[in-house]
Amino acid sequence: MHAGQIFFWFVILSMVGFPCTTINGQQKVEYAIVIHGGAGSAKIDEDVVAARLRSLNEYLQQGKDMLEQGSLGLDVVEAVIRRLEDDPLFNAGKGAVYNSEGGHELDASIMDGRDLSCGAVAGVTRVKNPVSLARRVMTDTRHILLAADGADRFARQQGLERVKPGYFHTEHARQRWEKARAAEQKQSSSEKPPLYLGTVGCVVLDRKGNIAAGTSTGGLTNKKYGRVGDSPIIAAGTYADNRTCGVSGTGIGEHFIRHAVAYDVSARMMYRDDTLKDAAHAVIHETLKPGYGGIIALDRDGNIVVEFNTPGMSRAAADSNGRFEVHVGK
């Protein structure tokens, strides 16, 4: 093949496209995953830290393996969050915090970056894995958010696993609730950021370039009965758009709702052409007050960002280029 023919085929391939192996000189990320187990205090019992590290490492490996095998991003998000919901170390599902009435009200959401379809549930009390119910709302109804008794009834109709309210109890969560009640009686009602925010979330980029995100929580310790935070609110605690990024938040939900935190990160990328890093930093450190929470996020190129303004945050991240890291605390 002479030089003219080589040039000809180079031009043709450039026009029709061929697999890209680098982006800005860096090896292309085929898939990526980032998980959080909540923002809050950096002062955690050493045994709890070790247990959370083990759990996050295991769930991160599961998500990475699924992505490596070509699983759909939504399937990975749901699977990983279900594991976190089943783990009493976190504030979602088993181990969820107590509300002011001494019960548990669970919230969750999931979003598909391909077409912005999404589903969420709020205030459920008998669903073992709220994130799976949120996905059913997305796929099996014309709605986005179902709440309280209606959500629990829908779960029963869908045949999802239901449990007795006592299933969600852990002694650790109850002790935190009792301390919170005692502290509330001694001080004014002025807002004070809590030290423990154990919401869980997962954001992934799959091999087909699709972004998915999900979040699940028991809410804030000693929250008022019926209170709904940001986790089941699309654009506040969860957002995913293949054109920009996926985001899952953890913190004081009222502020994430007020500032549409998850969507704001995407909007800054869409309309200002900010990088994910710049957008996330601005929202967490300029829009929110110190101590109010954090986010995990990744963009369509597989760049992963974790930002928080609390003393600590449990998080884990991995990608196809060999990244694999887990952190608890600072």
Query: Are 264 and 210 a contacting pair, CB within 8 Å?
Result: no
Distance CA 241, CA 239 (A): 7
List of residues 6+ apart from 15 with CB closer than 8 A: none
Give the pair of three-digit tokens for residue 316: 């884990």
Query: Are 46 and 77 a contacting pair, CB within 8 Å?
Result: no
Catalytic position from the list 21, 22, 139, 199: 199
Strands 211-217 and 200-205: antiparallel
Query: Are 329 and 306 a contacting pair, CB within 8 Å?
Result: no
What is the longest distance spanned by two Cα atoms in the chain?
86
Distance CA 77, CA 276 (A): 20
Question: Given the structure tokens 């979602």, which residue do they identify?
Answer: 92
Q: Cα-Cα-Cα-Cα dihedral of 329, 325, 295, 125, to 10°?
A: -80
Amino acid, res. 309 = N
- Residue 296 pairs in a beta bridge with 248, 306
Catalytic residue flag (residue 199): yes
Amino acid, res. 195 = L
The string over 286-318, giving b where at least 16 C-beta atoms fall within 10 Å of a residue's C-beta and e elsewhere, is: ebbeebbbbbbbbbbbbbbbbbbbbbbbbbbbb
Distance CA 127, CA 160 (A): 7
The helix/strand count (H/E) of the chain reads as 9, 14
Cα atoms found within 13 Å of the Cα of residue 178, Cβ hemisphere only: 6
Under DSSP, is residue 204 helix (H, G, I), strand (E, B) or coil? Answer: strand
Catalytic residue set = 199
